[in-house]
């Protein structure tokens, strides 16, 4: 089949059984197979011929492999984050944390940023892209994630402004930061996940004990000593966890406000000293 439009229609119809965004998936896979950006494909699909590799990419997606792993990246905020197996894929909902940070700090921004559980560097690199004068530190327990984060910093030209270390949350960490970002695991161990997530993404970046709060209990007590005067910590939460995580933060002496994600669900908690 050489007609790109027809190939996209057929692929989207097949992908309806495995994806909530079948047309978008088909377009991203086609653009990737062609070696062009999706925008270029959509502007003039008639100029292209369906590449031989497209069918294989669709088959991988039909097996529930995440599109981001197939492409090797996920766009997030204003940056492109390289991802691969063993590394958590950035979610659009997590952009709520950057939105909260921008609203809180404005154009001047924070000078020192800490990202706990940085994964491939998603939140930290997005923040540094927003504030070119800022410097940052990313911590993750996964060597694979730290390696990927360092590659992403290099690709974005931020290698002089950021450091990444393998570590257990804030254990042994010293210094103070104007902004602390954290998207910890927050899924209860008993919760069922979609095959795309359950079969491919790292469980250690997803599950957090019987109630999904295990890592908040570890992280929140360290935040006060790590926050510079006037600083703020922003935590991602599961959409049902606003009350429980807020109570943990308030017990540690923080004032807490919540922001919703694009779907109107509770997603980001802003912690400042009460």
User: Phi and psi of 64, rounded to 5°?
Assistant: 75, 10
pLDDT at 274: 80
Secondary structure, 3-state, the chain: CCEHHHHHHHHHHHHCCCCCCHHHHHHHHHHHHHCCCHHHHHHCHHHCECCCCHHHHHHHHHCCCCHHHHHCEEEECCEEEECCCCCCCCCHHHHHHHHHHHHHHCCCCCCEEEEECCCCCHHHHHHHHHCCCCEEEEEECCHHHHHHHHHHHHHCCCCCCEEEEECCCCCCCCCCEEEEEECCCCECCCCCCCHHHHCCCCHHHCECCCCCCHHHHHHHHHHHHHEEEEEEEEEECCCCCHHHHHHHHHHCCEEEEEEECCCCCEEEEEEEEC
> 56-100 pLDDT, tens per residue?
999 999 999 999 999 999 999 999 999 999 999 999 999 999 999
Region 108-115 average pLDDT: 97
Residue 242 has pLDDT above 90, yes or no: yes
Relative orientation angle of helices 4-15 and 54-62, to the nearest 10 degrees: 10
Residue 1 has pLDDT above 60, yes or no: no
Region 231-251 average pLDDT: 98
Region 3-15 average pLDDT: 97
The model's pTM is 0.95
Do the strands 227-236 and 177-182 form a parallel or antiparallel pair, or are they unpaired?
A: parallel
Residue 202: which pLDDT band, with cuts at 50, 70 and 90? very high
The fold of 4-63 is Helicase, Ruva Protein; domain 3 (1.10.8)
Question: Yes or no: is domain 85-273 CATH 3.40.50.150?
Answer: yes
Distance in angstroms (rounded) separating the CA atoms of residues 144 and 84: 9
Give residue limits of the domains in the chain: 4-63, 85-273
Alpha-carbon torsion angle 41, 47, 51, 55, nearest 10: 60
Contact between residue 227 and residue 177 where contact means Cβ atoms under 8 Å apart: yes
Task: Note whether 4-63 and 85-273 share their fold.
Answer: no
Whole-number average pLDDT of the chain: 96
């Amino acid at each position: 089949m050489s007609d790109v439009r027809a190939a996209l229609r057929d692929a989207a119809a097949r992908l309806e059984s495995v994806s909530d965004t079948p047309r978008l998936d088909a377009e991203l896979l086609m653009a990737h197979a062609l070696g062009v950006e999706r925008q270029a494909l959509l502007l003039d699909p008639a100029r292209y011929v369906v590449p031989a590799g497209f069918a294989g990419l669709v088959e991988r997606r039909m097996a529930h492999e995440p599109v981001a792993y197939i492409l090797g990246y996920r766009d997030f905020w204003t940056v492109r984050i390289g991802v691969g197996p063993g590394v958590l894929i950035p979610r659009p909902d997590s952009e709520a944390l950057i939105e909260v940070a921008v609203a809180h700090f404005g154009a001047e921004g924070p000078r020192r940023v800490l990202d706990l559980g940085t994964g491939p560097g998603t939140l930290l690199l997005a923040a540094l892209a927003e504030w070119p004068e800022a410097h940052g530190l990313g911590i993750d327990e996964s060597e694979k994630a730290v390696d990927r984060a360092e590659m992403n910093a290099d690709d974005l030209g931020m290698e002089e402004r950021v450091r990444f270390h393998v570590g257990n949350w804030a254990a042994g960490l010293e210094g103070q930061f104007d902004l602390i970002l954290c998207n910890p695991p927050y899924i209860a161990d008993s919760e069922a996940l979609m095959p795309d997530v359950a079969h491919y993404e790292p469980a250690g970046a997803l599950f957090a004990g019987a109630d999904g709060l295990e890592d908040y209990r570890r992280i929140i007590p360290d935040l006060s000593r790590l926050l510079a005067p006037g600083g703020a910590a922003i935590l991602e939460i599961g959409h049902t966890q606003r009350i429980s995580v807020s109570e943990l933060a308030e017990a540690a002496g923080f004032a807490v406000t919540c922001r919703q994600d694009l779907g109107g669900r509770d997603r980001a908690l802003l912690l400042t000293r009460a």
